[in-house]
Amino acid sequence: MKSEPLCILLAEDNDDHAEIVTRSLSEHRVANVVIRARDGEEALDYLFDSTSGRMSETHPRPNLVLLDLRLPKVDGLEVLRRIKNSPDHWDIPVVVLTTSAAERDLVESFKLHANSYLVKPVDYSKFDEMIQAMGFFWLVWNYQGDQNQVA
Amino acid sequence: MEVWEEQKAIGHLLREANNPLFRQVVESCAAALLLVDKRGCVMMANREMRRLFGYDADELTGESVDRLVPEGLRPRHEGYVRGFFAAPANRAMGAGRDLYGLRKDGRLFPVEIGLSVIDSPGEKLVLASIIDLTERKRTRQEMANIVERARQAAAIAELGVWDWDLSTNRVRWDQRMGELYGLPAKEEDVDYSVWANSVSREELPQQEAILKETIAKRGRSEREFRIRRYSDGAERIIQANEMVVCDDTGKAVRLVGVNRDVTEQRQAQAVKDAFLHMLEEKNAELERFIYTVSHDLKSPLITIKSFATLASKDADAGEFEKMRSDLVRVEKAAERMHTLLDELLKLSRLGRMVNPPELVSLTSISEEARELVAGRIMERDVTVNISADMPLVNVDRPRMVEVMQNLLDNAVKFMGKAASPRIDVGMVEVEGRRRYFVRDNGIGVEPQYREKIFGLFEKLSLATEGTGVGLALVKRIIELHNGKIWVESNWPNGGTTFWFTLGVGNGVIGANVKSEAFP
């Protein structure tokens, strides 16, 4: 585990699903901070400074974005596109976490350079297991380097 | 005719009929020659003559010329011979009649016969040169058959055939061309302008450009254009194919082509295309529908299952407070699922269940809808002003009430903190078309969401109640009435107007509901 606090941005409109993810994450002590965005706009507001369009100075940069696709206001795919096109955020791993197993969503997500695509399992123990594995993979095993230097 | 010239020369020589050299010349001549005296006796028949009629050498000499004439004609033939010697002159025999020769084997064959008078010493003779027409007749018949077949093929294919002489600008066209362009149905020569004047004004330049290029390239082309038929002014669609004909020097001299009226085919195609387009749209809509439904129904299912598991975990850990809140989530998710299923049912019924159109005023529809949302209206103290003199429309009344109910409900829902909340319902006429509106002074809609709000399960804010079906439903109903709906909003100052139209015929009374709009 790295010494600096690990931060996840969770873009999820469904309160219950957000709660499932948060509980699972905290139970397995994967992340120190989970920031919740309730729609696409909130996610973008968190990541970008609304006037400069560059990286937000006030919010800590997330180590991982967990992104639902069907989000109110700004669609999840649009959020993904903005992140991957941003000179400041393109290298943040974005994991799509959705109920949709539609081919179209999968293809579009990977076209926009999503780092992985997870379909929410209906069964809780699987959901929990998946979140744990995903968290460890991206935040513990996956080498991220000093992102600010990389960017 | 060459034969004639030759024959005259030979006739000249025959005055020396007994000259062996001349006899030899005649004998070897390529034309069939026969020398007859005035009694009708054959004095000489050359080799070609004998070959033609199937006789051996000298078999004919001294015989009556009648042997070469079909039996039925012999009595008359004698008269002809006499007549000829009475007024001898060089001429073709049997002008205007088909002549036949009789072979030795009894077969008849078509011939052409030229006669010339020979003044031989002592008496006048007649020299006949005979041409076998069998081959020529056969070719002619074949040509006639080909022409006839082409004519029949054109008739069967309903093709008009034309032939444009590029030097005179005259077009020879057939009966069918006349019919196609609404002119007398007969084969005639018309000026090029007769065609050009009937072609639709917008299309003529392009059509003439194609023809010009075809001629320049000495090629062929296929076109399609609209004409106005001369007889009744009806617009028809013509398909044309043509090809350049060049003279021996390679110069384009004619353009030959066919025309076909494809109006009905094109119309049928258009109907088919429109239908196909509609099917594609429906299919896409269905796909979207299934997509949203599966997503939106799966969401509460995940919640229910997960929190049921979490609840039992919390129970094991003795955390009953937590367990209770888990169960509340389960209950709410189940409830949400129930509402979703209800709304879906409502939406799916739309396609199938139809109420017969009723003539009803939009004022009374709006008033009925206002009653249905009276509770909310009172709760938020909204003034609803419905224009009293909106026209009668012919619509599915319960569905239109649903439209107004949803629009009013929506307006109330997004009223925000307006000081004196107000909704106006009315109608204006724009360019002769009636537009109905539901206007509020609520929070307004941001420009980027003005399309999205009509989508299924689209909610712009989590805080608002409802499932996101309402406006999708409204849109479907308006579309089923062949109308359109859109939204205008004064963002960010607030105030939203939903506009909609009904029917195709300017929203006129009567024909708003097309029966085929309902599957």
Sort out which chain A residues have CB atoms less than 8 A from B299's CB and list them. Answer: 14, 17, 99
Element (H, E) at B498: strand B496-500
CA-nearest residue of chain B to A102? B291
Assign a CATH topology to domain B268-351: Helix Hairpins (1.10.287)
> B142 pLDDT exceeds 80?
yes
pTM: 0.54
In this structure, are strands B392-395 and B358-361 parallel, antiparallel, or unpaired?
antiparallel
Cβ neighbours of B291 in A, within 8 Å: 100, 102
Instruction: Look at residue B358 and give its three-state secondary structure.
Output: strand
- Predicted confidence at residue B511, as pLDDT, reads 37
8 Å CB contact between B409 and B470: yes
3 state DSSP class of B496:
strand
- Chain B contacts of A19, Cβ < 8 Å? 329
Q: What is the pLDDT of residue A48?
A: 92
CA B188 – CA B151 distance, rounded (Å): 15
- The confidence band for A102, taking pLDDT boundaries of 50, 70 and 90, is confident
Domain contains A106? yes
Residue B503 has pLDDT above 60, yes or no: yes
The answer to whether the CB atoms of B303 and A14 lie below 8 A apart is: yes
Distance CA B503, CA B370 (A): 24
| A121 contacts in chain B (CB < 8 Å) | 302
Q: Which CATH number fits domain B355-517: 2.60.40.2470, 3.30.465.10, 1.10.150.170, 3.30.565.10?
A: 3.30.565.10
Q: Stretch B369-384: mean pLDDT, rounded? A: 89
Q: At a CB cut-off of 8 Å and minimum separation 6, what does B481 contact?
A: B395, B396, B400, B502, B503, B512, B513, B517
User: Which residues of A lie inside 8 Å of B (Cβ-Cβ)?
Assistant: 13-14, 16-17, 19-20, 23, 38-39, 70, 72-73, 98-100, 102, 120-125, 127
| Lowest mean pLDDT, pick from B209-213, B311-315, B320-324, B471-475 | B471-475
Q: Which residues contact B13 (CB under 8 A, 6 or more apart)?
A: B19, B22, B25, B26
Mutate to test the interface with B, among A21, A73, A105 (most CBs of B within 10 A): A73
DSSP string, A76-113: HHHHHHHHHH-TTTTTS-EEEEES---HHHHHHHHHTT
B326 in A contact zone (CB under 8 Å): no
CATH 3.30.565.10 intervals, chain B: 355-517
Looking at the domain assignment, is residue A69 inside a domain? yes
DSSP string, B272-306: HHHHHHHHHHHHHHHHHHHHHHHHHHHHHHHHHHH
SS3 state at B485? strand
Say whether B459 and A39 touch across the interface (CB within 8 A): no
In a mutagenesis test of the B interface, which of A17, A20, A36, A44 is the best target, namely the one with the most B β-carbons within 10 Å?
A: A20
**Residue B143: other Cβ atoms inside 10 A:** 10
Q: Is residue A150 part of a domain?
A: no
Q: At what angle do helices B263-316 and A124-135 cross, to 10 degrees?
A: 90
Sign of CA dihedral A120, A122, A128, A130: negative
What's the rounded mean pLDDT across residues B73-89? 82
Contacts with B418 (C-beta within 8 Å, 6 or more apart), sequence order: B441, B442, B494
B156-261 folds as Beta-Lactamase (3.30.450)
- Say if A126 falls within a structural domain: yes
Q: Which of A18-22, B244-248, B345-349, B384-388 shows the lowest per-residue confidence on average (mean pLDDT)?
A: B345-349
Q: What tens digit of pLDDT does each residue of B221-273 get?
A: 999 999 999 999 999 999 999 999 999 998 999 999 999 999 999 999 999 99
What ipTM did this prediction achieve? Answer: 0.84
Beta-carbon contacts below 8 Å between A and B: 60
Q: What is the pLDDT of residue A67?
A: 96
Residue B365 has pLDDT above 50, yes or no: yes
The model's confidence at residue B59, banded by pLDDT at 50, 70 and 90, is: confident
Whether A136 is in a domain gets the answer: yes
For residue B457, the model assigns a pLDDT of 65
Task: Tell me, yes or no, if B459 comes closer than 8 A to chain A by beta carbon.
Answer: yes
Q: Judge whether A11 and A66 are in contact, CB under 8 Å.
A: yes
CB contact set of B118 (below 8 Å; sequence gap of 6+): B11, B14, B15, B35, B124, B125, B126, B127
pLDDT at B335 over 80: yes
Span(s) in chain B for CATH 3.30.450.20: 2-132, 156-261
Say if residue A145's pLDDT is above 60. Answer: yes
Name the residue of chain A whose CA is nearest to B287's CA.
A102
pLDDT (0 to 100) of residue B3: 55
Question: Is residue B469's pLDDT more than 80?
Answer: no
For chain A, how far is it from start to end, CA to CA, in angstroms?
A: 23
Reply yes or no on whether the pLDDT at B519 is more than 50: no
* Chain B residues with CB-CB distance to A123 below 8 A: 305-306, 309
pLDDT above 60 for B83: yes
What pLDDT shows up at residue A17? 94
In this prediction, residue B506 carries a pLDDT of 31
Residue A89's CATH number: 3.40.50.2300
Q: Which helix (H) or strand (E) holds B113?
A: strand B108-120
**What's the farthest any 2 CA atoms get from each other in chain B?**
156
Judge whether A151 lies within some domain. no
Separation of alpha carbons B119 and A111, rounded Å: 108
B461 shares contact with chain A (CB less than 8 Å) = yes
Structural domain includes residue A1: no
Nearest to B295 among A39, A72, A100 (CB): A100
**Cβ-based burial of B80 (10 A; exposed 0-12, middle 13-18, buried ≥19):** middle
Q: Would you tell me which residues 5-34 of chain B have a C-beta closer than 8 angstroms to some C-beta of chain A?
A: none
Domain that holds residue A119: 7-142
More confident residue, B84 or B199: B199
* Pairwise pLDDT comparison (B120 vs A71), residue with the higher score: A71
Q: How high is the pLDDT of residue B146?
A: 92
Structure confidence at residue B464 (pLDDT): 57
**Is pLDDT at A148 greater than 80 in this prediction?**
no
* Separation CA B169–CA B467 (nearest Å): 72
B337 in contact with A, Cβ within 8 Å:
no
CB B406 within 8 A of CB B422: no
**CB proximity under 8 Å: B 194-223 to A:** none
> According to the model, what pLDDT value does residue B505 have?
40
For the domain covering B2-132, report its CATH number. Answer: 3.30.450.20
Work out the angle at residue B127's Cα, subtended by the Cα atoms of residues B126 and B131, and round it to the nearest 5 degrees: 135
Structural domain total, chain A? 1
Note whether B331 contacts A: Cβ–Cβ < 8 A.
no
Confidence band, pLDDT 50/70/90 cuts, at residue B467: low
Q: Average of pLDDT values for B143-163?
A: 91
Residue of chain B whose alpha carbon sits nearest to that of A73: B460
A148 in any annotated domain: no
Is residue B163 pLDDT above 60, yes or no? Answer: yes
Q: Which residues contact B289 (CB under 8 A, 6 or more apart)?
A: B456
User: In this complex, do B306 and A38 lie within 8 Å of one another by their Cβ atoms?
Assistant: no
